[in-house]
Amino acid sequence: MAIKGSLKEASLPDVLQLLSMGKKTGCLGLSFHESFGSIYFESGRICHASIVNRPLDTENAVYTLFTWTSGTFNFEAGVEPETGAPLVSVDPQSLLLEGARRVDEWSMIEKKIPSFDLVYSIDRTRLTKNRDKLTSEQETLLPLLDGHRDINGLIRDSGLGEFEVGKALYGLLNATFLLPVGRKRTTPTLPRNATPSERRELASALYRAGMHDEADREFRALIEEVPDSVASFFLGLIALRRGEWGAAVNAFMTAAPNAPSKKSLLHNLSLAYERLGQMEKARLVIDRAIGAGGGQHPLIQLQAAVVALTTGDYQAAKVALSEARSLWMGNPPPVWFHYAARLAKLTDDPDREMLLLGGATETHPESAILLNNLAAACIERGDYEEARAAAEKGIAVAPELPQLRRTLATALEGISAARREQTAQSANRS
């Protein structure tokens, strides 16, 4: 299930609750102006969160992300935090109350600070007359309010989050301790002396935010400076998304010697070989992924099942599908049902095929492909009314898929033919 969209249309709390209830595992990438954040999930619980170039722990990163009321989000299933990232296990529900409070406060802050490109300096005459104690955040910002840094620069150089900086500036503005200087129209995303690791972090965030063209550009620029296996790996992922199977193979092979996660690389390399039709290579690579410890990863077992199914080894496909199913904590994703139903069809078990597709469309009513598969299976059984109902549900979900309209047309033709036959039989009896 693809989960992506605009934060103006679906708020971050709503998205978090959706991922939590669905017990999703993967990464939610977010973009807001020139800022990028990531929230990782493990079975519906937040296990890590970060914002590019902000030294925030997971909870404070999430609280800061709550204040992003515009921008985009993109969820990618199965993506894990980078090796060495600090991991936690937090129920998103426990963060919503504090997040809601911060959003309410942020709505007031935005009235005084409508843009992050604003630049302020200190009114030192008024500040010296102040007798009230400043907050620790305000004390941190004072030496940075030099009339040159905009708010983006204050956030970057203070190490504080958007909310903390906004709240501190709000108080200083209300006390009339700040003087407006103007706007800084261009704020670089990275400092000029950015390290390769900082550039890699930005490019990875762009990828997770679904900005694949921009990520491709940044990864290629990084590789021009220094060979980077992580950049090559991500270029392979981008090539997979574009359907450029040969380019994906080349990128993964380049990343292979120093890849941080061998099993993830081998899994995606097998997928690229499979799409190229090079099934023996796909089988050898996925076997290596399982041997490298990937046997406990459901997506790797699923890929092993796909390769076995495509090569006609139905028994191996059945075993791998069963292993994959047992490894998913909740209901498996639509793709598992797709291949499990396909195996049932190929092994002449139409009742199991219908059972799987029926259950799948109840569990994943948003999957247009599964609804189309169910409609096609109903047509083969002569259940044209059921086929029409499934196809119409699919069209409501994804009207752009042409195969759904073809399936619906076939179902309607079947219904018409059945009615004509009934009419003819009635006429013959009379």
High-pLDDT (> 70) share of the chain, %: 97
316-340: pLDDT as tens digits: 999 999 999 999 877 888 999 999 9
CA atoms within 13 A of residue 224's CA, in its CB half-sphere: 6
Rounded CA-CA distance 374/415 in Å is 17
What is the rounded radius of gyration, in angstroms, for the C-alpha atoms of the chain?
27
Within its chain, how far is the Cα of 127 from the centroid? 46
For the domain 331-430, what is the CATH superfamily, name and number?
Answer: Tetratricopeptide repeat domain (1.25.40.10)
The per-residue pLDDT for 187 is 40
What CATH number belongs to 113-183? 1.10.10.10
Q: Looking at the chain, which residues constitute the CATH 1.25.40.10 domain(s)?
A: 331-430
The per-residue pLDDT for 188 is 43
Instruction: Give the pLDDT mean for 17-42.
Output: 89
The per-residue pLDDT for 186 is 47
Given a contact cutoff of 8 angstroms between Cβ atoms, the answer to whether 231 and 241 are in contact is no
Average pLDDT, the chain: 90
Report which residue type is found at 228.
Answer: D
272-315: pLDDT as tens digits: 999 999 999 999 999 999 998 889 999 999 999 999 999 999 99
Q: Looking at the chain, which residues constitute the CATH 1.10.10.10 domain(s)?
A: 113-183
Instruction: Give the pLDDT mean for 354-374.
Output: 93
Is the model's pLDDT at 399 over the cut of 70?
yes
Across the beta sheet with 178-183, the strand order is 146-150, 118-122, 178-183
Q: Residue 393 — very low, low, confident or very high, per pLDDT cuts 50/70/90?
A: very high
Rounded CA-CA distance 265/62 in Å is 29
86-124: pLDDT as tens digits: 999 999 999 998 888 888 888 889 889 988 889 999 998
233-283: pLDDT as tens digits: 999 999 999 999 999 999 999 999 887 678 899 999 999 999 999 999 999
The per-residue pLDDT for 191 is 56
Instruction: Give the pLDDT mean for 122-146.
Output: 91
pTM of the model: 0.73
